[in-house]
Amino acid sequence: HIPQLELSRSLFLINSYFCRSCLSSTALQQEFDVHYEVERDHLEIRILPSSSFPKGALEQSAGVQLLVWLFSDPGVMDSYESIFKHYQQNREIKNGVESWCFSFDPPPMQGWKLHVKGRSSNEGKDYLVEEIVGLELDVRLPRTTRISHASSQEKEAGEGSTQHIAVPTESVVDDEDLQLDDEKTANIETGTRVIEADPTWMSFSRPSQIEKSRRVRKSSQIILEKEEATTSENSSLDSTDEPHLGGVLAAADVGGKQDVTNYNHIFANRFAAFNGLVSILKTKFRCRVIFEETLVLPKVGRSRLHLCKDGSPRVIKAVGMQRNGSEFVLLEVDASDGVKMLSTKVLTGVDSETWRNDFERIRRGVVKNSLNWPNGLLGQLYGQGGHRGVNHPKGLGELQVSREDMEGWAERVVREQFTH
């Protein structure tokens, strides 16, 4: 038995915005302009100025794919909107208190896999799902999607006067240091901070390739001069209340989903050299590929290193291999936007039962360590000899590597695999 509220939470109610908008019959229609091009299999999503959808949520890959899924599949949108219909039919008001028994119409779930926690009945005939921790969704999203936000504009220099404006520097507060105060209202002008709260995960069998666009407008020259921000007692306080102009605290949206979608196909071109390494390991050194997966790096605190310079997700590729009965995993971080490349990491002693959780911790560690390997964490997981770095051949960033140097790269990987 799966409680409907838990199923709805895992599918749709992933943050404060979706929880609020599901209780309105017109929220999504009024806040988004959507157009689908059949010939290109392309979806255009424009977030309108009136929308309260937090821009920070566009940095969470799973939430973006969920948005695409909602607007591209009428059956899924009907399911989401059924929450409001059931609410209207079932709500009761007694002694000034409104209540209702939650229900909705789930979308078709053929081919899905649910990863759950729960308990069996004493007879073992029934199983009650208490928490859905992960969803593998067998769905095909549009090949490409472009998302634009009405308030996101890139300024183009134009004629006009020069203005000097003093702006306060923002104090950096980690998510761990934040406090939520629901007694005070949120201010809509501060922007909404998206805070992850131990998110569950989801994956899509065929995700959409996301393109983010920004409108360009001409402007006069404006010079921003930083000044120190005054420290206030509210600097680390946020409110999850509905934001409005008279609010006191910064707005916060708590929730999110961890994206474990395999983006091997979409981002294959970012790992051209690494894929060449894997090919040499297969042909020359008789290694067998056990698995390949390309996952996005998660957002950690206020860091934007989980994104490439163009705003697209930064990804990491893992390839599990076997040679002469021994197994190892290769890790390569996406440096396609010109950031300093990390060495190829070779892991040994990886347990397939714990790999999903290990890989999630490793991905967070890479971002938290400013795009460096979290060697302390890797030592805890696999021992000091269970993780080794292998330097890239020279010229890899320009993809000007000879066959000899590529084979030398592969030889170093094999050598490190047997020296743990």
The whole-number average pLDDT for the span 20-32 is 92
User: Average pLDDT over the chain, rounded to whole?
Assistant: 83
Whole-number Å distance between alpha carbons of 387 and 346: 6
Asked if pLDDT for residue 252 goes beyond 70, the answer is: no
Q: Which of 126, 154, 147, 160 is nearest to 51 (CA)?
A: 147
Asked if pLDDT for residue 38 goes beyond 90, the answer is: yes
Start-end of H helices in 176-269: none
- The domains of the chain are located at 4-254, 262-417
Tokens found for residue 130: 């208490």
Specify the pLDDT at position 81. 97
Whole-number Å distance between alpha carbons of 81 and 419: 57
CA dihedral 47, 52, 56, 60 (to 10 degrees): -70
Whole-number Å distance between alpha carbons of 51 and 317: 35
CB 147 within 8 A of CB 213: yes
Bridge partners (DSSP) listed for residue 35: 44
Strands 186-195 and 163-168: unpaired
Residue type, 268: A
Q: Which of 178, 152, 349, 162 is nearest to 253 (CA)?
A: 178
Specify the pLDDT at position 394. 83
296-348 pLDDT, tens digit per residue, is 999 888 888 999 998 899 999 999 999 999 999 999 999 999 888 899 999 99
153-192 pLDDT, tens digit per residue, is 544 444 444 444 333 333 334 455 556 666 666 655 555 5
Count the residues in the chain: 420
pTM, 2 dp: 0.79
Whole-number Å distance between alpha carbons of 141 and 207: 5
Specify the pLDDT at position 180. 61
389-403 pLDDT, tens digit per residue, is 999 998 776 566 888
- Percent of the chain whose pLDDT exceeds 90: 62
